[in-house]
């Protein structure tokens, strides 16, 4: 099956947060930042207004900004390769990504795991190294179901 997609920042962000670990880190980081910022506001409202409460609010806001800023920075560094539509190919032999920077292929024999996320499939090679991410939006709903069923029919990709 073949699919093609012009990747924008929103699609890139969903692809990067497709894995459970980065998403959990983002959620925990935001909860921690909310706690720190909330503590600063609490100190400012219920006690003597000190510079520590201002630091706590700024530190909490900085944590949230840092996470999104790093994601935006990686997008800025890679957006040239996504200036043209990226073509994805999934066959019984393997998968391939054709972009303006070249073609990357992986055979299913060299795949250790495929994470079936909500927005994309993360194809991991040997030793858990990420080979590439295939966004579901690149395919029609019927093709997306067929590809998902292919991964479900191969338990060796479950990790």
The answer to whether 56 and 43 have CB atoms below 8 angstroms apart is yes
Radius of gyration of the chain, Cα coordinates, nearest whole angstrom: 20
Q: Render 67-85 in DSSP notation, one character per residue.
A: HHHHHHHHHHHHGGGGSS-
Assign 88 to helix, strand or coil.
strand
Q: Which residues contact 67 (CB under 8 A, 6 or more apart)?
A: 26, 29, 30
Quick: pLDDT tens for 65-103.
887 888 899 999 988 888 899 999 999 899 999 988 889
Question: What value does the mean pLDDT take over residues 13-36?
Answer: 79
pLDDT recorded at residue 58: 78
Question: What value does the mean pLDDT take over residues 136-156?
Answer: 90
pTM passes above 0.75: no
């Amino acid at each position: 099956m073949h699919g093609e997609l012009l990747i924008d920042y929103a699609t890139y962000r969903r692809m990067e947060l497709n894995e459970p670990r980065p998403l959990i880190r983002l959620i925990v980081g935001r909860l921690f930042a909310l706690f720190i910022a909330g503590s600063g506001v609490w100190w400012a409202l219920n006690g003597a207004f000190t510079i520590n409460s201002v630091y706590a609010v700024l530190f909490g806001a900085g944590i949230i900004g840092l996470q999104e800023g790093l994601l935006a920075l990686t997008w800025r560094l890679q957006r040239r390769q996504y200036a043209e539509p990226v073509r994805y190919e999934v066959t019984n032999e393997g998968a391939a990504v054709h972009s303006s920077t070249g073609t990357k292929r992986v055979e299913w024999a060299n795949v250790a795991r495929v994470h079936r996320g909500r927005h994309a499939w993360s194809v991991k090679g040997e030793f858990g190294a990420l080979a590439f991410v295939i966004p579901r939006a690149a395919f029609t709903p019927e093709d997306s179901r067929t590809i998902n069923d292919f991964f479900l029919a191969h338990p060796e990709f479950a990790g």
